[in-house]
Each structure stands twice: as structure tokens, then as C-alpha cells.
Amino acid sequence: MNEKRKFDVLVIGGGPAGLTASIYTSRADLTTAVFDKGDNTLDKAEVIENYFGFVDPISGSEILGRGRKQTKKFGTEIFDLEALSISIDDGYTVETVDGEFKGDGLVLATGVQQKKPDVENLGSFEGKGVSYCVVCDGPLFRDKKCAVLGSKDYGVKEALKLNEYTDYVSLLTDGKEVDADQRLIDRLDENGIEVITDPVTTVFGDQLLEGAIVGDEEMELDGLFIAIGTSGTLDFALKLGIDIEDGFIQTKDDLSTGLPNMYAAGDCTGGERQVSLAVGEGTEAALNLIEDLKGESNQDWG
């Protein structure tokens, strides 16, 4: 184990929210460490065509690579390590397998982990017809045959959103009954979205998705959107006592978490999942943290 290393700011998560926060803090001359355990959400986005300033589509991994390079240019140190725990004393201590790191301020930007259903071959078609985000990929499936896999509010909402791009939408509940707000269920009926409750066992295709086996039937599909929710990435932070509901950090309007000099940004705070929103929140969290650490309101740790 190395000695406890000291930084002004510790950022947990090296996606667009965390990297943006680190660009701002290191440019403000605050020594900054970013921790990232890999498997970044954005790496799975093969085509991004809605991020400001990129006329031609750009891949998620290209954006990430550029962000990492950019923040390192300003002095940020990136550690490809998982934050195993955070403790609070006269600052924050983050524990990793490579030792402990201490900081005066902290940004949580851990993103969310999508839950995956147990459907054969699903991984082979991610980015090739299987998607986890209608806002991101819906426009790529205009007038195509699509289905949403999900049975709760989130699944129904994704199906309704997808219906804005194509009339051919079904909701696959994978052996469950629809368990959503009645007003949402009514809107499924009004929009002619068929609900199929049979289990979804396999997806198939050649290069791209071509269909799924639903019950005993083969269903032709160009797009399958998974909407069964998220699983927690915040267990390591739970004992801090920050407010976490349904796996999302509940922040105040200024993105503060209720703990001194600690902010949260990006997908982990809930709401729509978009790079632009993550970047915006990373900016806001960093600006407020810089003000805390440099300004009049500098926290007294007692």
C-alpha cells in the first residue's frame, strides 16, 4: 500500500460528468484526482450525433479519450482504480486497492449501471439494434420495427417515447404483467402499442439485430430497447449517509449532497441520461466546489 496521497479535489467516476468537473477544478489550480473503474457507459455508444459541435457522428469512446487527454493537460491525475469506500474526517479519504487518497472536496460522478435481462445473445447486438436509451437512439430507428423490454413505469415511458419515431412499437414484459401507473397504461392503449407478456429468450441476427424469440414465436425486430432499470453503483458511498433513492443521489438544486464540499453530477443524480446534461452538471458541481474551497464559504471541518 502506498502512503495516503493528498489532493484538493477527488472525483469518483471518469465519464463526461467527472472529467468535466476535473477540467474545471484543475484549471482553477486545485490539484485533482479522478478515479475510474472502467466499463464506462459512453464506451458503449458507438454513434453519438446529438452532442453540440460535432457535425459528423462521434463515438462515445472518442469523446472519452479526448476528455481524458484534455483534463490531464491541465494537471488532473487519472487513476484507473475503483473507489472502494469513502470516509469523512477533516476531509474525505477514498480507499482503493492501491492505497488511500485524501481530498478537501469530492465530486460523485459514478453514472448508473443498466440492469440487463437474461436474454441469449443480447450482448452481441448492443449498439447493433439493442439499445438502452430511447432519447439517444430512438431517432436512428424511424419507422423501423421496434420493441421495448420492460414492465414498469420506465419501460412504458420508453415505449411511448419510441412511438414518436415509429408506429411499430411493442412492449415486451418478459413474462410479467405490466406494473405501471394506470395513466401510462391507458396511453399505451390510446397509441396502439401492443403489450406482449410472453418471455423473451433469445435475440438473433446476422451483423445487425433481426429479431427475437418471444414465447414460441419469432418476432421480426430492427430495434430492441432495454428498459428494466438500473442497479446501484453507489453501495460504496452508502455509509456516508447521503440521500440515495431508487439508486439515484438526491441533490439540492446546486448539486450539493448535504455533506461539506461534496457534490454529485451526471447520470447518478437521475433524470435523462445524456452527455450534454452530464457535462453541464459536472461544470456546475465543479464551479460550486471551487467556490466552496476558494471562497468565503470554505467549510469548517470542526
Distance from C-alpha of 37 to C-alpha of 113, rounded to nearest angstrom: 12
Longest dimension (CA), the chain: 67
Grid cell, residue 171, equals: 412492449
Is 229 within 8 Å of 242 (Cβ atoms)?
A: no
Q: Which of 110, 163, 170, 251 binds ligand FAD (CB under 6 A)?
A: 110
Please name the residues in contact with 168: beta carbons below 8 A apart, sequence gap of 6 or more.
Answer: 143, 144, 145, 146
Q: Which range in 12-20, 117-125, 211-219, 256-264 contacts ligand FAD by CB under 6 A?
A: 12-20
As beta bridge partners, residue 86 has 94
Among 27, 37, 68, 72, interactor with ligand FAD by CB under 6 A: 37
**Binding test (CB under 6 A) with ligand FAD, winner from 9, 28, 42, 172:** 42
**Among residues 125 and 132, whose Cβ is nearest to ligand FAD?**
132
Rounded CA-CA distance 119/199 in Å is: 9
Long-range CB contacts for residues 231-240, cutoff 8 Å, separation at least 24: 231/113, 231/114, 231/115, 232/113, 233/110, 233/111, 233/112, 233/113, 233/268, 234/108, 234/110, 234/268, 236/82, 236/83, 236/84, 236/85, 236/86, 237/12, 237/86, 237/108, 237/110, 239/85, 240/86, 240/88
| Residue 274 lies near ligand FAD (rule: CB under 6 A) | yes
Window 176-215: contact mask with ligand FAD (x via CB under 6 A)? ----------------------------------------
Q: Which is nearer to ligand FAD, 17 or 169 (CB)?
A: 17
Among 21, 30, 133, 159, which residue sits at the site for ligand FAD (rule: CB under 6 A)?
133
45, 106, 149, 160: which one binds ligand FAD (CB under 6 A): 45
Q: Of 103-111, 178-186, 196-204, 249-257, which part binds ligand FAD (CB under 6 A)?
A: 103-111
Measured CA to CA in angstroms, residue 212 lies from 115, 121, 200, 205, 237 at distances of: 19, 10, 7, 9, 38
Residues of span 206-265 touching ligand FAD by CB under 6 A: 233, 236
Q: In the complex with ligand FAD, which residue's Cβ is closer, 188 or 234? A: 234
Q: Residue 294 CA to chain centroid, in angstroms? A: 30
**35 or 125: whose CB is closer to ligand FAD?**
35
- Beta carbon nearer to ligand FAD, 200 or 226: 226
> How far, in Å, CA of 154 to CA of 38, rounded?
26
Among 82, 98, 198, 210, contact with ligand FAD (rule: CB under 6 A): 82
Among 4, 29, 50, 189, binds ligand FAD (CB under 6 A): 50
Q: How far is the CB of 88 from ligand FAD (least distance, A)?
A: 16
Any idea what the Cα angle at residue 218 is, between residues 216 and 224, rounded to 5°? 115
Residues that bind ligand FAD (CB under 6 A): 12-18, 35-42, 44-45, 48, 50-51, 60, 82-83, 109-111, 127, 131-133, 136, 233, 236, 266-267, 273-276, 278
